[in-house]
Amino acid sequence: MAAGVNAGLRVINVTTPASPSETGFYSQPIVPAEAVVSSGLAYVGGGDGGLVVVDVSDSTAPVAIGFLDTSGTAWGVAVSGSLAYVADLTGGLRIVDVSIPSSPAAVGSLDTAGRTRGVAVVDTLAYVADGNSGSFLVVDISDRSNPSVMGSPDSLFHDLYDVVISQDTAYVADYDSGLQVIDVSNPTTPSEVGSYVSSWRACGLDYAADYAYVAALSEGLPVIDVSNPVTPVEVGSFPSGQQSRGVAVSGNLVFVADGRSGVLVVDVTNPASPTEVASFDTPGDAVQVTVVDSLVYVSDTYSLEILRMIPTVGAAEKRGVEARASGSKPRLFYSGPNPFRSAAAIRYQIPASNHV
């Protein structure tokens, strides 16, 4: 579920999926790729800004309360207990103590051969997608100050972007080679059991009930049946039309971070025929999405936004889903290019009609 460039984070309430609206936002000049939410806190991989901890307990007023500048570029994040695990691109895997959210502290690290992009954690093991090294790593994190590689498949892959774990199976987004399926029942000898090779570029993925949902840039949302992990089969797809980079599943809905199209809500009740039921046009480029309960957290251009679902006429179908201004203050979004050239775009929002 991790990918993105030049982004912030937005949060969406999805009580009524057909009509999302904004309830709050956090804006910060960081370049995040993934956010994980736990107990009212969002842990954001802030790119060159490192790990950022945002208090989202009040959905109308998220506030950044903690920062840690990692040695690389904070890309993917996983959280377990009081520890955050950061896929830090050239910085490898970083382990951060977040028991005091306002003062995150580095406690351990593992240098890797590639650009570490994705991480998932289960108990005392971390599963690492090590980017352009082509390596998938199973890491022993029982000693947080001294993580060590336990095992890795014999075969190298291409460019691993994301990883999701379900029981004894790892599903891995391989940018140039589609979907990889790896048996991790024995962490010392993980082995590839199947793959689905395609021309689309796999940036992120999520898994639910024998299906893997892949964010595949301009190819949108391929749906892969992995009930037989040896021979995964593409059974459906949704052509988003932009740059699908992040995806999250909640029930029979899939949320897609689709670049300039914002957030798309896709009904996958019939996986062979995914259907868009709603969308929300974020001010910047949506690059990552995470679902927690009835809220959807969206990495967007330099901001953390909180959106709420507002019932509208014809909510069962896709209608005009509009953004609601959060609060009464004007907002200036990221402007570019930076530095400005002869032409530049300045994006802003005002709560009511007025002179600018």
Residue 17 has a pLDDT of 63
Amino acid at 211: Y
What residues does each domain of the chain span?
10-328
Residue 128 has a pLDDT of 98
Distances (CA, A) of 316 to 29, 236, 322: 37, 22, 16
Residue 193 clears pLDDT 90, i.e. is over it: yes
The span from the CA of 13 to the CA of 58, in Å, is 13
Write out pLDDT tens, residues 153-182.
988 899 999 999 999 999 999 998 999 999
Residue 208 has a pLDDT of 96
Write out pLDDT tens, residues 197-207.
998 999 999 99
- Mean pLDDT over 175-201 rounds to 95
What Rg do the C-alpha atoms of the chain give, in angstroms? 19
CATH of domain 10-328: 2.130.10.10
Name the band, by pLDDT with cuts 50, 70 and 90, for residue 346. Answer: low
Residue 242 clears pLDDT 50, i.e. is over it: yes
Please tell me which residue, 95 or 199, carries the higher pLDDT value. 95
Residue 130 clears pLDDT 60, i.e. is over it: yes
Phi and psi at residue 176, to the nearest 5°: -95, -10
User: Residue 181 has which token pair?
Assistant: 């399926």
The span from the CA of 238 to the CA of 286, in Å, is 17
- Mean pLDDT over 334-342 rounds to 44
User: Residue 119 has which token pair?
Assistant: 């991480």
User: Residue 295 has which token pair?
Assistant: 């809220």
Three-class SS state of 181: strand
- Mean pLDDT over 322-339 rounds to 39
- Mean pLDDT over 339-344 rounds to 48
Phi and psi at residue 206, to the nearest 5°: -140, 165
Instruction: List, edge to edge, every strand of the sheet that includes 178-183.
Output: 160-166, 169-174, 178-183, 191-196
Residue 305 has a pLDDT of 63
The verdict on whether omega for the bond into residue 330 sits within 30 degrees of 0, i.e. cis, is: no
Q: Which of 112, 31, 35 is nearest to 289 (CA)?
A: 35
Residue 51 clears pLDDT 90, i.e. is over it: yes
- Mean pLDDT over 57-83 rounds to 91
